[in-house]
A = this chain, B = another copy of it.
Amino acid sequence: MSHDKVLSMTEAIRRFVSDGMTVALEGFTHLIPYSAAHEIIRQQKRDLTLCRMTPDIISDQLIAAGCVSKLVASFFASGSAGSLYEIRRRVESLVPEALEVEEYSHYGMVSRYHAGASGMPFAPLRSYSGSDMPDLNPLLKVVDNPYGEGTVYVVPALNPDVTIIHAQRADRSGNTQMWGVLGAQQEAAYAATRTIVVVEEIVDGAVVRADPNRTIVPAHVVDAVVLSRRGAHPSYVQGGYDRDGEFYREWTAISHEPERLRQWLQDWVYDLKDSDDYAEKLGPEKWAALAVSDRPSGVVNYGSSR
């Protein structure tokens, strides 16, 4: 409970991510754990099964760096910003080699994490009736409805070996607080054997305990707390810095040329030590452009009489 779990990014990835593991990197448009992915690339992890609802640029980078042999996901583009060409090359022309893909819908992925977190073999949902997705993915199954006619589709539990998430803040024991879009981070953390939490700020336990409803991932499922300021770039942190839309649009061109992508990885990942280096290389003008306004939440009272 009061155990100190703060580690450097290097140490956290070294200790908890091994070749061949199933690794979930969650964060739905918001709080995407880029700096953790970059450390995975630097440490040249191999043969990972990468789980992410929306692969996003982070997946294109991990795949291009040769870390990933299988992708479990529910969307294969980068929001509005265009294609992820590394993924497309792997799938469309098997260049440089094939990538195994296991595909769900968004609620299918959320439900898989939910089942995994809940110790259940499956979770039921209303999707897939009449879709071709079950033909492609035999893990989409049905069970009989014991309360009426017909059947109900179910998805199997997903239990990653490691889940890595990025959050606004945590205390040293791992109580993790987030606000804004919460994605499937709580489910993915509870579903995993190990959880690494990367944060913008490590705060005193008193800060967490002043607002316990804000704790999305409690310390009891957290194995490492890593401080990585601005480590979610080019995604965003509500109240911290905004999404780098310019970079998202650039990525289509970068990822379209394998050589340019390799050079990008060289310049922005391999040649840098950590996310502090990365933030510095981005430069003050970029950070000024991404700076956010002040929109305070207001205060509520948790007082009791005794």
Chain A interfacial positions (CB closer than 8 Å to B): 119-126, 139, 141-148, 152, 154, 156-157, 168, 177, 179-180, 182, 207, 210-211, 213-214, 236, 238-242, 289-306
Contact = CB atoms under 8 A, between A and B. Distances in A.
Nearest to A179: B213
A132 to B, nearest CB: 19
Closest 10 CB pairs of A and B: A239-B301, A242-B305, A292-B303, A211-B297, A141-B146, A293-B303, A295-B302, A295-B303, A143-B143, A121-B147
A223 to B, nearest CB: 24
A121 B130 CA distance: 19
A36 B182 CA distance: 33
5 contacts: A121-B148, A179-B300, A210-B296, A241-B305, A296-B301
Nearest to A289: B305
A296 B298 contact: no
Copies of this chain per assembly: 2
A293 B306 CA distance: 8
Contacts of A123: 124
Interface of A, helix, strand, loop or mixed by DSSP: loop
Nearest to A292: B303
Nearest to A241: B305
A131 to B, nearest CB: 17
A46 to B, nearest CB: 28
A304 B293 contact: yes
A293 B305 CA distance: 6
Given A121-B148, A121-B152, A141-B146, 8 more contacts: A119-B126, A139-B147, A147-B157, A292-B303, A293-B304, A293-B305, A296-B300, A298-B299
A180 to B, nearest CB: 7
B242 A304 contact: yes
Nearest to A207: B298
Residue among A125, A211, A304 with the most chain B CB within 10 A?
A304
Nearest to A213: B179
Nearest to A140: B146
Contacts of A306: 242
B180 A213 contact: yes
Nearest to A148: B121
Nearest to A150: B121
A138 to B, nearest CB: 11
